[in-house]
């Protein structure tokens, strides 16, 4: 007697969920590294930044540097948590990406084009982490490809 095992119907959804989580992790780590560099530039008070006198949310450039540096380090750490598919990292990833988005909005006059790019990247990160349902995500190393394909016993 042979038994046919069919793969679960959610395999394609699980693959998409895994792909979106990896996308969000890589983008969050990329945004974090770029924010670290931006923070270092702000702390060093480099001449790269534009200064304006008529901005409502005016901070010292060194303050913005430290804010971006801390957010960048947190983003990289949470990105590693997303690679390991930790549930806490999904929630923290949305929160960190939101904070990165807000920080880049508030520092818009100092580096306008880059701030808009970082806001867009953060939006994609939040979307990728929110579109995946909890039951769709899985650890890609839980099963071997042989276990996911139909086979006869």
The answer to whether the CB of 118 falls within 8 A of the CB of 49 is: no
**Alpha carbons 94 and 126: distance in angstroms, whole number:** 5
Residue 123's pLDDT is: 92
Please determine, for residue 86, whether its predicted confidence score (pLDDT) is greater than 70.
yes
Place of tokens 């969920």: 17
Cα 141 to Cα 38, 148, 151: the distances in Å are 35, 12, 19
Q: What average pLDDT score do residues 17-42 get?
A: 86
Range of weakest confidence among 48-52, 74-78, 133-137: 133-137
Residue 41's pLDDT is: 84
102 Cβ contact list (under 8 Å, min separation 6): none
DSSP three-state, residue 95: helix
152 beta partners: 4
The answer to whether the CB of 133 falls within 8 A of the CB of 17 is: yes
DSSP three-state, residue 59: coil
Return mean pLDDT, the chain: 77
The answer to whether the CB of 109 falls within 8 A of the CB of 50 is: yes
Q: What average pLDDT score do residues 70-92 get?
A: 90
**Alpha carbons 120 and 137: distance in angstroms, whole number:** 24
The answer to whether the CB of 152 falls within 8 A of the CB of 2 is: yes
Q: Please state the pTM of the whole predicted model.
A: 0.71
Range of weakest confidence among 48-52, 77-81, 126-130: 48-52
Residue 98's pLDDT is: 94
**Alpha carbons 136 and 146: distance in angstroms, whole number:** 20
4 beta partners: 152
Q: Which tens digit of pLDDT belongs to each residue from 87-121?
A: 888 899 999 999 989 988 887 877 788 889 989 99
């Amino acid at each position: 007697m042979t038994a046919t095992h069919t793969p679960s119907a959610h395999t394609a959804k699980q693959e998409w969920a895994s792909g979106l989580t990896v996308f969000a992790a890589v983008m969050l780590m990329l945004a974090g590294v770029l924010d670290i560099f931006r923070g270092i530039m702000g702390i060093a008070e480099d001449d790269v930044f534009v200064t304006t006198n008529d901005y409502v949310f005016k901070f010292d450039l060194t303050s913005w540097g430290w804010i971006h540096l801390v957010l960048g380090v947190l983003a990289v750490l949470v990105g590693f948590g997303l690679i390991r598919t930790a549930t806490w990292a999904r929630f923290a990833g949305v929160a960190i990406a939101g904070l990165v988005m807000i920080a880049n909005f508030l520092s818009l006059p100092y580096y306008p084009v880059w701030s808009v790019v970082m806001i867009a990247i953060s939006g994609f990160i939040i979307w990728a982490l929110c579109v995946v349902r909890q039951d769709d995500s899985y650890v890609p190393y839980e099963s071997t490809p042989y276990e996911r394909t139909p086979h006869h016993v």
